[in-house]
């Protein structure tokens, strides 16, 4: 079985973790864990929270890989919720690996790549400029979607829990060019307009996007922050199973509906 440091180094290399150090508030990489330990079982989840820490422990995991971790700019004090989270990890010898923007950005394993797969987009290019990086993708539909068809394709494929996939149908009746930034991506609406997208697919919206999209003549699909960000951790699970076929893995589904 692999050493934790070996897995961490390989994940960091695959995800180009170091390239996002100055772009991301998340402390990507190994957030909690010893320098050396053997890993027999890896759990995967979107969110690093009390529920997934407990469920990973119950499953017998040594390592939990998540998209949203517990360190966003460091800790001023280890009290309250931070103390509770760290206690759960340390008392159960559960290491925590986090990949936020690096996992959004990965061209094959990333969250946007997963949404693009669902929509079968062709001719994909990077989208969602953030400094020198891009955290999304854009591409062309193989056959134009009607706005309702685009929404329904996502409804059928995403783990939305109690949430709905909302459509702001302000674009053309035939959607051919689609831009994607998962999670909270409405800040990239202007870029979507600039590249000629007919629709922007993201997770959650901010209030101004309604009128911004209406005035720009672009449809926006709000498919859920959680739901659009399940793809990356699931892809990492598959990749680790390829790297280490004897490694036990578990995916912890916990949709928020948001």
**pLDDT, tens digit, 9 for 90 and up, residues 200-248:** 999 999 999 999 999 999 999 999 999 999 999 999 999 999 999 999 9
| pLDDT tens, residue by residue, 137-162 | 999 999 999 999 999 999 999 988 77
Is the model's pTM score more than 0.85? yes
| pLDDT tens, residue by residue, 38-78 | 999 999 999 999 999 999 999 999 999 999 999 998 888 99
Is residue 207 marked as binding? Answer: no
Is residue 244 marked as binding? Answer: no
CA–CA distance, 82 with 56 (Å, rounded to integer): 18
Q: Would the CA dihedral through 146, 150, 156, 161 be positive or negative? A: negative
Domain at 4-100: CATH code: 3.40.1390.30
Is residue 134 marked as binding? Answer: no
Q: What topology is assigned to 106-228 in CATH?
A: 3.40.1390
Show the CA angle centred on residue 171, arms to residues 169 and 174, nearest 5°.
Answer: 100
CA–CA distance, 116 with 213 (Å, rounded to integer): 21
Q: Do strands 133-145 and 63-68 pair parallel, antiparallel, or not at all (unpaired)?
A: unpaired
- Give the rounded percent of residues in the chain with a pLDDT score beyond 70: 100
CB 4 within 8 A of CB 65: no
Is residue 68 marked as binding? Answer: yes
pLDDT at position 161 is 77
CATH 3.40.1390.30 boundaries in the chain:
4-100, 106-228
Is residue 100 marked as binding? Answer: no
């Amino acid at each position: 079985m692999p050493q934790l440091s070996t897995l961490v180094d390989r994940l960091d290399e695959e995800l180009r973790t170091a390239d996002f150090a100055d772009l991301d508030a998340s402390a990507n990489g190994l957030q909690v864990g010893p320098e050396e330990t053997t890993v027999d079982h890896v759990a995967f989840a979107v969110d690093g929270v009390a529920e997934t820490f407990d469920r990973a422990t119950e499953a017998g995991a040594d390592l939990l890989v998540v998209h949203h971790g517990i360190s966003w700019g460091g800790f001023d004090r280890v009290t309250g919720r931070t103390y509770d989270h760290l206690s759960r990890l340390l008392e159960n010898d559960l290491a925590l690996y986090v990949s936020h923007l690096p996992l959004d950005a990965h061209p094959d394993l990333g969250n946007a790549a997963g949404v693009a797969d669902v929509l079968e987009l062709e001719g994909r290019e990077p989208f969602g400029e953030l400094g020198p990086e891009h955290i999304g993708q854009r591409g062309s539909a193989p056959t134009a979607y009607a706005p309702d068809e685009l929404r329904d394709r996502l409804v059928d494929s995403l783990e939305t829990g109690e949430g709905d996939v909302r459509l702001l149908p302000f674009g053309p009746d035939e959607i051919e060019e689609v831009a994607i930034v998962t999670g909270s991506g409405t800040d990239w609406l202007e870029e979507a307009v600039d590249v000629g997208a007919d629709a922007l697919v993201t997770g959650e919206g901010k209030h101004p996007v309604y009128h911004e999209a209406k005035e720009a003549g672009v449809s926006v699909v709000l498919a859920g922050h959680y739901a659009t960000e399940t793809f990356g951790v699931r892809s990492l699970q598959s990749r680790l199973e390829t790297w280490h076929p004897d490694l036990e893995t578990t995916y912890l589904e916990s949709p928020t509906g948001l």
